[in-house]
Amino acid sequence: MSKPFLSIEQLTQRYPDGQGGEFTVFENATFGIEKGEFVCILGHSGCGKSTIMNILAGLSEPTSGVVKMDGQHVSGPSLDRGVVFQNYSLLPWLSALKNVTFGVAARFPDWDKAKVVEHSTAFLAKVGLTGDTIHRKPSQLSGGMRQRVSIARAFANEPKLLLLDEPFGALDALTRGTIQEELIKVWKDTDQTVFMITHDIDEAILLADRILLMTNGPLAQVAENVEITIPRPRVRNDIVEHPNYYAIRNHLVHFLAKRSAELSGKSSDRNSPATVRFDLTGETATEDPETAPLLRAVQA
Ligand SMILES: Nc1ncnc2c1ncn2[C@@H]1O[C@H](COP(=O)(O)OP(=O)(O)OP(=O)(O)O)[C@@H](O)[C@H]1O
Ligand SMILES: [Mg+2]
């Protein structure tokens, strides 16, 4: 089988525990992401999601293991990988537009100024920012607007991989819903590959092609790969009617409420997450034979 676009192989992260020893955040995390996929990762606070993302971004080095993108080792930050942090991290002294043009000009050094501005303005418009608003500085924007700017900035650079760390964590439900729709629209328009951390199960079901589930740390594992067998386009109010919706949702809730703790600290003999796939549209659930025992245990 050919290697996926992004491959994470045997990733382990250990940190000093502050008492002369060390603790293992996660061990042997192994998974792949295909080009154009939208993958979410869910897990409790502290299990190591941001640590994984920082390694994928090239912002930190794992204790052991490798990350390869397009067959190349990831080391150090690169314009090929765009990151949206939870806290927006816009440059406060630049306007919304300049926060976007800054990166675009670096990414496309051959473009003249007019083309950079046109491209950046188009991406801001995709997330609903037009007119005078784009000339305001971050301090003059609402939290939702700031997060829109950071999403526009990341997509406008057209990276090969977009990494989003709980991008909507600080937003109210209404704004969150609107920006989720905008995010999906930009992702569809641009065919980019997205890896997103979220705490929100419903958000993950709405957005993702598949969801990776992490057990609790320390010694966390990427234990499961849950396919979201709900066709796109997905509309928030309609997906709850889909026959697979509650099967998927209940599985995720059960994992986070119980199994993430039960499996915590246990090393697994698998070297990639078990695939879980619900399809009740044909009246029967399809189980990957590899994961059948696990699924039966879950559904008991
Ligand atoms: N530089 C560091 N040095 C020591 N320990 C660290 C460092 N960075 C993270 N940790 C520890 O690693 C663990 C995982 O942290 P991480 O930020 O990846 O969690 P997370 O899953 O993103 O949590 P949250 O959902 O709260 O954002 C935590 O126990 C944290 O204290
Ligand atoms: Mg985090």
On the question of pLDDT at 2 being above 90, the answer is no
Atom of ligand 1 nearest to the CA of 51: 18
* Residue nearest to ligand 1 atom 28, measured at CA: 46
The number of the ligand nearest the C-alpha atom of 214 reads: 1
DSSP track, 111-139? S-HHHHHHHHHHHHHHTT--GGGGGS-GG
Tokens of 108: 């496309």
* Mean pLDDT taken over the chain: 89
* Residue nearest to ligand 1 atom 16, measured at CA: 48
Atom of ligand 1 nearest to the CA of 52: 18
Planar angle of CA 160, 165, 171, nearest 5 degrees: 125
Mean per-residue pLDDT, 231-245: 94
Residue ranges of domains in the chain: 6-80+163-299, 86-158
pLDDT for position 265? 76
Mean per-residue pLDDT, 199-224: 94
Binned at pLDDT 50, 70 and 90, residue 298 comes out as: very low
Q: How far is the CA of 45 from the centre of ligand 1 (A)?
A: 8
Tell me which of 49, 59, 60, 264 to substitute to probe ligand 1's pocket, judged by most ligand atoms within 8 Å of the beta carbon.
49
* Residue nearest to ligand 1 atom 8, measured at CA: 51
pLDDT for position 270? 66
Could you give phi then psi for residue 155, rounded to 5 degrees?
Answer: -70, -35
Mean per-residue pLDDT, 254-262: 94
Helix (H, G, I), strand (E, B) or coil at 151: helix
pLDDT for position 178? 87
The number of the ligand nearest the C-alpha atom of 46 reads: 1
Q: Is the peptide bond before 218 cis (omega within 30 degrees of 0)?
A: yes
Mean per-residue pLDDT, 69-76: 92
Mean per-residue pLDDT, 78-106: 92
The predicted-structure confidence for 144-201, as pLDDT tens digits, reads as follows 899 899 999 998 999 999 999 998 887 788 888 888 998 998 899 888 999 999 989 9
Q: How far is the CA of 269 from the centre of ligand 1 (A)?
A: 24
Mean per-residue pLDDT, 99-127: 96
Tell me which of 19, 23, 25 to substitute to probe ligand 1's pocket, judged by most ligand atoms within 8 Å of the beta carbon.
25
* Residue nearest to ligand 1 atom 27, measured at CA: 45
Q: How far is the CA of 46 from the centre of ligand 1 (A)?
A: 5
pLDDT for position 232? 95
pLDDT for position 171? 79
Mean per-residue pLDDT, 227-253: 95
On the question of pLDDT at 92 being above 80, the answer is yes
| Contact assessment for residue 285 and residue 279, using Cβ atoms and an 8 Å cutoff | yes
CATH of domain 6-80+163-299: 3.40.50.300
Alpha-helix residue ranges (DSSP H) falling in 6-112: 49-57, 96-107
- Ligand 1 neighbours, Cβ below 6 Å, are 15, 25, 43, 45-51, 217
The predicted-structure confidence for 17-72, as pLDDT tens digits, reads as follows 999 999 999 999 999 999 999 999 999 999 999 999 999 999 999 999 999 999 99
Q: How far is the CA of 75 from the centre of ligand 2 (A)?
A: 20
On the question of pLDDT at 132 being above 90, the answer is yes
Count of C-beta atoms within a 10 Å radius of residue 30: 16
Q: How far is the CA of 44 from the centre of ligand 2 (A)?
A: 9
Tell me which of 12, 13, 14, 15 to substitute to probe ligand 1's pocket, judged by most ligand atoms within 8 Å of the beta carbon.
15
pLDDT for position 294? 37
pLDDT for position 297? 31
The number of the ligand nearest the C-alpha atom of 55 reads: 1
Q: What percent of the chain has pLDDT over 70?
A: 92
- Work out the end-to-end distance of the chain between its first and last CA atoms, rounded to an integer number of angstroms: 34
The predicted-structure confidence for 285-296, as pLDDT tens digits, reads as follows 555 544 443 333
Bridge pairing between strands 81-84 and 72-73: unpaired
pLDDT for position 269? 65
What is the reported pTM? 0.90
Q: How far is the CA of 15 from the centre of ligand 1 (A)?
A: 9
Closest CA to 31 of 61, 76, 67, 2: 67
Binned at pLDDT 50, 70 and 90, residue 223 comes out as: very high
Tokens of 294: 């696990």
Burial 47-59 (b: 16+ CB within 10 A, else e): bbbbbbbbbbbbe
Tell me the helix, strand and coil percentages in the chain, rounded to 5: 40, 20, 40
pLDDT for position 125? 93
Q: Convert 192-245 into a string of H (helix), E (strand) and C (coil).
A: CEEEEECCCHHHHHHHCCEEEEECCCCCECEEEEEECCCCCCCCHHHHCCCCCH
